[in-house]
Amino acid sequence: MDCHSSVTHVLVPSAVLTASLLGSGHCALMCGGLVMSAARSSWQHFLYHVGRLASYAGLGYISGLAGENVISRLPQSVSAAAAWAVALSFVALGWIGWRKGGLHLPVPGADKINAWTVRLFRLLTDPSKPGRHYYAALIGALSIFLPCGWLYSFVLASVTLADPLKSAGIMAVFWAGTLPALVVSPWLMRRVVFLPESVLPKLSSLLLIAAGVLPILMRYVKFS
Amino acid sequence: MPVSLTPQQDLRSKKTSPFPCDHCGLPVPEFRAAAKSSGEKIFCCEGCRTVYQIITGHQLEEYYEIKKGSEFFARSQPASSVLSRYSYLDEPVVKEKLAYGSQARCMDFYVEGVHCVACLWLIERIGKLVPGVEGVQMSLGSMVAKVTLKEQGSFSSVAEGLERIGYKPHPVSEGHQARDLNSAENRREMTRIGVAGFCMMNIMILFISIYAGAEGGMLHLFRWLSGLLFIPVAVYGAAPFYRGALSSLKIREINIDLPVAGALLLGSAASVWNLVMGSEHIYFDSLTAFVFLLLSARYALKTIYQKTASQMGAGEFLIPKSALRWNPATKTSEVAAVETLLPGEFLLIPQGEIIAADGEVTSGGGYADFHMFSGESEPVKLKPGSKVFAGTVNVGDDLIIEVSASGRQTRIERLLESVQNLEKPKTVEIADAAAKRYLAVVFAGAAVLVVTSQGLSFSEAFDRALSMIIIACPCALALATPLVYRMGARAAAQRGVLLKGVSALDKLSRTRNLYLDKTGTLTYGRYQVLSWKILKGMDDLIETACLLEKRSQHPIAIAIRDYAHAVYPLMGDLSLVSDWKEVLGRGVSGKVNGKHYEIKGARADTRSGAIEASLLSSVGIFEEGDLKVLIILGDKIREDSPATAEVLKGQFEMVQIVTGDRAESGAAAAQVLGVQKFTAEMSPEDKRSILGADPFSLMVGDGANDAAAMKAASVSVAVQGSIETSFQCADAYLTTPGIGTLPELISIARRTRSVVWAALLTSLAYNLTGMVLAILGHVTPLVAAIVMPLSSLTVLVIAYAGVNLRFKK
C-alpha cells in the first residue's frame, strides 16, 4: 500500500489546489466586491483571509468527522454498503450536474436563510458603524454562509477522506487556491490564469464523480 | 446542499439566456431569467444574488470612498482632465460614425483602469453622477462599456464623468472591436500554448527520472502523473488539430492537420494502453513536445501573417504614419499617430505633405494631386469645402482639414480591399497538389511498415511508423508559402506598387515578353517645352510669352506657361498686355510694353534631324514681325525611361513598344530608348490580338486607355489613370509615375517565386532524410517531434530572409 498512499498524498492535494486555483475566477467576481467592503487595509485583508481559512478548515473537519463516523463506526458489511452508497450518490449527483449544467437542488426555506444571511452581512459591513474594521476576520469566517456551490462541492467531496484532519487539510488547500484571485489582482489573474467560469459546473460535477469513484478504485483495485 | 452553480458555456448550449448576471456579468441560465421581464434583477447563482443584496444596501458614494481610500488598490492619479477634450463626441459627424442603436444613443467605450468588480459596479452606476444616462453595461472580460443615453444626454459628459472618477474612456469604433476580437483569439491560442508548454516541461522532468532508472513506487507515480498531465494537452492543446483533421475528412481533401491528428491519436492510444498494461512504451513526452512546438510554430506564423497583412494595405506606404492634429481652440498642432485619428478631428497639412485621412478642407488653399482617384494628373485647386483623400499630396499652401474617414475607412483602403483578388498563386496550387500525393504515400508507407515489420517487435515497428509520420508533416507548405507571398507583396507596396492579390506576383514572375505603351507610360503624356532658343538679341522673352499665353487653353500655351512658371515663379500682371488676340489653332498676339508680339508656328531647325522633328512642334516668338525666339515643344520622354529600359532589356527576352501613335513617333521613341522592336498605329483590336497570342506577355500601359490590351495580356501593370479603373483590367498599379519601379517589381516577383521553391525543396529534403532515418530506426518519436518543428523553423527563416533581407527598405 506504500505507493498507493504516496500517490494519494501527492495527487489529491495537488488536484484540489489546481482545481481551486483554476476555478477561482468566479470567486473573484462574486466576492471581490464583498472583500473590498469588508477590508480596507492590507491588515484587514489578511484578517479576512485568516477568518476564511479558519471556517473552511472547520467545515472540512466536520465533514471528515461525518465521513469517519458514518463509514467506520458501522459494522463491516454495513460500512462497505454505506461507502458504496455515498460513492454512488456522488457519482449520480455528478452525472446529473454534468448533464444539466449545474446542480440546483431547491432547499425548502433557503430563501429565508438567505435573507438572514444578507441582514447579518449588511450589519457587519455597514460603513457607518464604528469599529467595523475589526470585523474583517469575522466576515471572512462567516462567508461560508454565502451560498456557494463551488465551495460546498469540495466540502462534500472531502467527506470521502473519512478523516477529520485530512479533510480539514484539504479544505485548507482549497483556501490556498482561492488566494491569488482575491489577493493579487482579481482582474489580472482572471484574464491570464483562470478557466472560464462557465466551465465550473462541469468541474464540480467531475469532482463529485471522482470523489465517488476514486475511493472505490483505491480500495479494490491493486496497482502493480 | 449545493444550491445552483454557475451556468454552462453560453456559446455551445442554448440553456443560457442572453442576459448577464446583474452582479458578476456572466450569462444567466434560462430558468433564472424569467424574472427579467418584470424588471427585477437576475443573477447567475444564489451566491451572486446574496452578495448583491449585501452590497446594494449601501450608497454609491460609499463605494467611491472605499475605492479611493483603499490603499490596497491604490491607483495612480487620473489624467489631469482637460474637460473639453471629449467635446468632439457630441459632433454630429462623430456620432454618425461611432454611435449606434435606436436613435444613435449607444456608444461603446473601452475603459482603462478597471481591475475589479467594484470598478465595474461604479462604472455601471455612472448614471448617478452624470445626468442623461439611460444605462451602462460593461463586461470585465472585454473592458468595453456600452453607454446608452437618454434623450437629453451627451456622450461627452459621460466620458468626462468616467475620467473624473478615475477611468479613462476611449470611444471604440468598428476597427477596435475587430482588433479586440483578434486579440481575444490570440490570447486563447497563447493559453493553449501555455498549457501545452507547462505540461510538456513537467512531463519531461518526470521522464528524465524514468529514463534515469526510477523504480518501484516512484516509477509508478511518475508514469501515472505524466499520463495525467498528458490529458490537458491531448484534449485541449491538440483540439485545433482534431478540428482541422475532421474538416479535412469532411471535404475529402488531405490537409496537414490529418497526419498531425493521426500521429497524436495513435500515439495517445498506444501510450495509454501501455501505461495501463505496465509496458514501457509510453510516448507522453514526444507527443506533448510535438503539440507544443507545432502550436508555437502556427502561432508565430499567424502573428507574422497578421503583421504583414495589416501592413499590406496601401496605408502603410502611401499614407504617413503620423499627422498633425490641429486644435482649433488653441490654434496649435500636436503630432498624432494616424491610427488614433477620428472623424471630426482637424488636421494641419503643411505644404508638400501627404494627406493622412479623408476629409474636407476647412481653411487654407492650394492644390492637390488626385491622379490616383481621377486619373487626371493636373493638380486640382482646393478651397474650403473641397473633399480630399488620404494619400493625396498637398502641393499648395498649408491646409486645415476636418477628418471624415481614417484608417480602414478611407477611400483608398476601401478601394484596395474591394479589388483584392484572392485566387491562389499557381505555384501554391502546384505545391498543394504535390503535397497531397506526398501525404498519401507517407501514410501508405507507415502502414506497410507496421504491417510487415520484418524482424521487429510490433511496438518497435510502431515507434518507427510514428516517428515517420511525425517527421513527414509538410508544414512548410501551409506555413511558409503564404508568408513568402505576403512579404513579396509588402516589398512591392513599399515601393509604391499596389497589387491585386498575391497571385499577381506569381503571374509577374512567369512573363518573358514585355510590351510597353508609349504615351503616358514612357513619356509624360503632354506637351512640354523641350528647348527655348534665343535667335536674336539678349532677351529670352519668357515673361512676355507667358503673359500672352495666359488666356489661351491650347496645349502649347499651357506648356509655355508651365515652363515660364518653372523658370520665373513670380509672373507679372496681365494689365501690361493690350490688344490681345488669339487665332485658334494658330497662335496668339498682343502688345506688351508698347511692342507688338506674335507667337505662332515657325519652321523647325532642320539641322536637328528629321526623326526628332517628328516628335515635335516648333513655335516662334516674333517681336514686331522679327523671329526672336524659337521654342521647341514635344511630348518628352521621361528622364528615367532610357535607364529603366536598359535594365528591362536585361530582364526580358523581348521588349517591344506598342503604340497607337504615328509610326515616326514610335520609331523615335524606340530609338531613344534603345528598344529594337516597336509596332505603331495599332488599333485597340490589334493590340488585343498581339497580346492575347503571347502567353508570356506583360503589358504596361494606361489603365483607362489600354484596358482592352491589358485584359488580353497574361499579366498587366497600369502606370496611369485612376486606381479603380486600372484594377478592372490590370494586376498591378504603379503609384509613382513612369516605369521606374517596374524592374524592381519584376525582380521581387521572381525572387518570391524562387524563395518559395527553395523553401519547399529544403523542406522536402529534410522530410525525406528524416523519414529514411526513421524507417531505419535511428529516430525515436521524441527526436522526431523536436526535429520536425525545427525544419519548419528553418523554412520560415529561409522564407523571411529570402525576401525581406534582399528587398529591405
The model's pLDDT over A30-47, given as tens digits with 9 standing for 90+, comes to 777 777 667 766 777 788
In DSSP terms, B632 is beta-bridged to: B531, B618
Burial of B37 per CB tally in 10 Å (0-12, 13-18, 19+): exposed
- Given A114, A186, A201, which is nearest B116 (Cβ)? A186
Residues of chain A positioned with their CB less than 8 A from the CB of B73: 36
A101 to each of A96, A104, B3, how far by Cα in Å? 8, 9, 13
Between B770 and B379, the higher pLDDT residue: B770
Cβ burial, residue B522 (10 Å; 0-12/13-18/19+) = buried
pLDDT confidence band for A80 (50 / 70 / 90): low
Q: DSSP characters for B8-77? A: PPTTT-S-EEEEEPTTT-PEEEGGGGGGGGGT----SSHHHHHHHHHHTTS-HHHHHHHHHH-GGG--PP
Q: Between B268 and B173, whose confidence is greater?
A: B268
B49 touches A: beta carbon within 8 Å: yes
The residue of chain A nearest to residue B62, with distances taken between CA atoms, is: A127
What is the complex's ipTM, to 2 decimals? 0.77
B184 or B624, greater pLDDT = B624
Give the model's pLDDT for residue B234.
Answer: 92
Chain A contact for B71, CB < 8 A? yes
Assign A82 a pLDDT band (cuts: 50, 70, 90).
low
Residue A110, min C-alpha distance to chain B (Å): 9
Interchain contact A194–B (C-beta under 8 A): no
Highest mean pLDDT among A193-197, B146-150, B374-378, B697-701: B697-701
Dist CA B590 CA B597 (whole Å): 6
Percent of chain B past pLDDT 90, that is, above it, reads 6
DSSP string for A118-184: HHHHHHHH-TTSTTGGGGHHHHHHHGGGS--HHHHHHHHHHGGG--HHHHHHHHHHHHHHHHHHHHT
Chain A contact present for B117, CB below 8 A = yes
pLDDT on residue B613:
44
What is the pLDDT at residue A56? 94
Region B644-669: what's the mean pLDDT? 79
A52 Cβ contact partners less than 8 Å away, ≥ 6 residues apart: A140, A141, A143, A144, A175
B306 in contact with chain A, both atoms CB, cutoff 8 A: no
Asked if residue B412 lies in contact with residue B314, where contact means CB atoms within 8 angstroms, the answer is yes
CB contact under 8 A, A29 and B3: no
Predicted local confidence at residue B312, as pLDDT: 45
Q: How confident is the model at residue A218 (pLDDT cuts 50, 70, 90)?
A: low
Say yes or no to pLDDT of B228 above 60.
yes
Q: Which residue of A has its CA nearest to B191?
A: A192
Copy the grid coordinates of residue B77.
492619479
Which of B3, B22, B62, B228 is the best mutation test for A, with the most CBs of A within 10 A?
B3
How high is the mean pLDDT of chain B? 76
pLDDT above 90 (res A157): no
Alpha-helical segments (H) within chain A: 2-23, 25-38, 42-72, 76-100, 110-125, 136-142, 149-158, 164-183, 186-192, 200-220
Largest CA distance in chain A: 64
Sign of CA dihedral B425, B428, B432, B438: positive
B697-710 pLDDT per residue, tens: 999 987 666 777 88
With a cut of 70, say whether residue B383 has pLDDT above it: yes
Residue bearing the bigger pLDDT, B125 or B8: B125
Q: Is B388 within 8 Å of B358 (Cβ atoms)?
A: yes
What is the per-residue pLDDT for B182? 63
| Short-list B218, B300, B231, B313, CA closest to B268 | B231
pLDDT at B95: 76
Chain B, residues 185-244, CB within 8 A of chain A, namely 187, 216-217, 220-221, 224-225, 228
- Higher pLDDT: B107 or B164? It is B107
A contacts of B24 (beta carbons < 8 Å): 26, 29-30, 197
Q: Number of A:B CB contacts under 8 A?
A: 177
- How much is the pLDDT for B10? 34
Does B121 lie at the interface with A, CB-CB under 8 angstroms? yes
DSSP class of residue B330?
Answer: T
- Regarding predicted confidence, which is higher, A155 or B89? A155
Q: What is the predicted pLDDT for the residue at B717?
A: 92
Confidence of residue B711 (pLDDT cuts 50, 70, 90): confident
Q: Which of B7, B58, B216 sits opposite A198 (nearest CB)?
A: B7
Smallest Cα distance from B323 to chain A, Å = 35
Contact state of B54 with A122 under an 8 Å Cβ cutoff: yes
The more confident residue out of B228 and A26 is B228
CA distance A57 to chain B (A): 18
Q: Searching chain B, which residue's CA lies closest to the CA of residue A93?
A: B2
- Burial B242-281, CB ≥16 within 10 A → b, else e: bebbeebeeeeebbbbbbbbbbbbbbbebbbebbeeeeeb
- pLDDT for the residue numbered B254: 66
Tell me the average pLDDT across B253-268: 80
pLDDT the model gives residue B430: 77
CA B146 vs. chain centroid, Å, equals 29
Q: Mean pLDDT across the stretch A210-218? A: 71
Q: Which residues of B touch A24 (CB under 8 A)?
A: none
Which residues 59-78 of A are in CB contact (within 8 Å) with B?
A: none
A139-143, B172-176, B251-255, B513-517: which range is least confident on average?
Answer: B172-176
> What pLDDT score does B121 carry?
65
Taking Cα atoms as reference points, which of A210, A219, A12, A2 lies closest to residue A97?
A: A210
Range among A144-153, B151-160, B220-229, B654-663 rated most confident? B220-229
> Is the pLDDT score of B8 beyond 60?
no
Q: What is the pLDDT of residue B390?
A: 85
What pLDDT is recorded for position A57?
Answer: 94
- Is B420 touching A (CB cutoff 8 A)? no
B796 burial (CB, 10 Å; 0-12 / 13-18 / 19+) is: buried
> Are the Cβ atoms of A149 and B27 closer than 8 angstroms?
no
Q: Which of A34, A45, A187 sits opposite B72 (nearest CB)?
A: A45
Residues 579-618 of B with CB under 8 A from A: none
Q: Is the pLDDT of residue B809 over 70?
A: no
Distances (CA, A) of B257 to B29, B238, B249, B308, B780: 36, 10, 10, 24, 21
C-alpha cell at B442: 507517407
Share of chain B above pLDDT 70, in %: 78
B15 → chain A, closest CA residue:
A101
Largest CA distance in chain B: 120
Cβ pair B499, B732 in contact under 8 A: yes
Q: Which residues of B touch A118 (CB under 8 A)?
A: 50, 53-54, 57
- pTM > 0.80: no
Q: How far apart are CA B521 and CA B641, in angstroms?
A: 9
